[in-house]
A and B are shown apart, each in its own frame.
Chain A
Amino acid sequence: MIDQPIKSTLAKSKPSNLVRNLQEKLIEFLLFLAASSSVAITIGIIYILISESVSFFQEVSLVEFLTGTEWTPLFADAKYGIWALLAGTIVTTAVALFVAIPIGTISAVYLSEFAPEKLREIVKPCLEILAGIPSVVYGYFALLFVTPLLQRFLSDLPSFNMLSPGLVTGIMIIPFISSISEDSMRAVPASLREGSYAMGATRLQTAWSVVLPASLSGISAAYILGISRAVGITMIVAIAGGLQPNFTWNPMESAATIATFIVSVSLGDLPHGTIEYQSIFAAGITLFVITLITNIIGHFISKRYREIY
């Protein structure tokens, strides 16, 4: 008796079920296409990077590339030693981290553990704006403001140098470090903080000896992300660092980085298939490998320290 009305609705809904299932399948397929497109694009990029670099390495030995300290693709006697670009990349990144890690971490500790709610709501978006300013603007800020300022104290600082764009790159990545660090500190359960206060600890003691160690995985992920950003930032160093490859560890000299080399060379019209053209891809794959390694290290570290509370 009770079954009957249910049965009849079931019977009626059959054709519309078919349409619905078809719709579902179609939508699912479209979603799959969208999702797989990013994978396909990544594979495509890696394919192009590798295939162009393979032709490059047929003419330049891998040993010369990995150990050489001169990078002169446009000379008659062209040399392709990646260290000339790698040194600039490492120096500018180190200068940037020297600024961004302390300021980013301290801002995160302050915002998460000390700042009243209202102040945090104002300061946090301000910090995030730093990341939204176009890097060209930072580049000219470094060239036209920071460098002259530094020259007042360091009289022999050349107009193009790595110190100034390194510092400014550091300012640009502060928000990456501070916001991820802050999120992971705020994720520390209140019960841990209360446990520390209940022992008679001050805010500073609690932040330093309980909250920081508990959020170590997030903070190290933030640092690694900061490194990845700093390594890849192009325009600031391109504008204020000079574009001349220069094997030096001195931040007071001008130099090029891997990323700025790619930009400067690809701005000229290089004929396809020439070795100069392919050198961009060899440099690009180096950058890709560096970022990949930092990301793997970051993944490893955050796994190791995960869920310590």
Chain B
Amino acid sequence: MVGKNPENISALQTDQTKALVRNLDFFYGDNHALKDINMPVYANKVTALIGPSGCGKTTLLRCFNRMHDLYPGNRYKGEILLGEDQKQSNILSKQVDPIEVRMNIGMVFQKPNPFPKSIYENIAYGLKIRGHSRSFIDDKVEYSLRNAALWDEVKDRLQDLAVNLSGGQQQRLCIARAMATDPEIILFDEPTSALDPIATLSIEQLILELKDQVTVLIVTHNMQQAVRVSNYTAFMYLGRLIEFDTTAKIFAKPAVKETADYVSGKFG
């Protein structure tokens, strides 16, 4: 199985590794939700996590920013190594503060979740936490909103409540909010599942543009979306990583039968 040997894959690629998942198991109490996951995440590329509902995509994604630490009874085993090859550190280690991890790895959720604050304050939120100056924040708010193709729509009402924006605008705001703090990796959990087709296309467009600035990991249940936005695809099934490869390869000639069945729509 290709997924078992990420080193073999990366040897095929010239892309740089941003993060490396090694022998990762995850437990919700007694529920063994992830089983021996091994995969690379390449820098400045979009990696898609696909697979049938309940296979563990969200669970894997939320390991990357230690979101599971928020709830009691959750347990990680194994490593996610982050950083350049020489100075990799395991972000799942107990010595690593989850807040430090989240300072460097942003996240965009399934349902847009703007804070009950103004548009400006939403973008400024992470910057204030990081103690930036007022003038820096002002510049960064504008830059991030432009970057998320939202500036022209909201520049005259930065002090309005963000919840009054449309669903697609809210999700772009959430992307701008996550990008404002210059994360190394940005995690998307089915970011368009609550949006209409037009808003979905604009978010996908945005994700394609983001990869020059950041490494993207995206969960999607929509295979066309994986094809449209991603460079690499990981197919998961029943808590295991079945196959990892370039998106072209996964959808054109997958190596494993389950992957072929899934991408051709036979199950899931």
Residues of A within 8 A of B (CB): 116, 189, 191-202, 205, 209-210, 213-214, 216, 308-309
Contacts and interface: CB of A to CB of B under 8 A. Distances in A.
B67 A199 contact: no
A213 B116 contact: yes
A199 B70 CA distance: 13
A198 B115 contact: no
Nearest to B130: A200
B4 interface: no
Contacts of B109: 191, 194-195, 198
B120 to A, nearest CB: 14
Contacts of A213: 115-117
A216 B174 CA distance: 22
A308 B129 CA distance: 22
Contacts of B161: 308
A194 B102 CA distance: 11
B102 A195 contact: no
Contact of B129 (A191, A194, A200): A200
A209 B116 CA distance: 9
Contact of A200 (B115, B126, B174): B126
B115 A194 contact: no
Interface of B: 65, 67, 70, 72, 99, 102-103, 106-107, 109, 111, 113, 115-117, 125-126, 129-130, 161, 163, 174, 177-178, 181
Contact of B113 (A116, A192, A200, A201): A192
Given A192-B115, A200-B126, 16 more contacts: A116-B72, A191-B109, A191-B113, A194-B109, A196-B115, A196-B125, A198-B67, A198-B102, A200-B103, A200-B181, A209-B115, A209-B125, A214-B115, A214-B116, A216-B116, A308-B116
Nearest to A199: B126
Contact of B107 (A116, A198, A202, A216): A198
A56 B124 CA distance: 60
A122 to B, nearest CB: 17
B163 A308 contact: yes
A143 B90 CA distance: 62
A195 B174 contact: yes
13 contacts: A189-B113, A192-B113, A193-B70, A195-B174, A196-B125, A197-B70, A199-B102, A199-B106, A199-B126, A199-B178, A200-B126, A200-B129, A201-B125
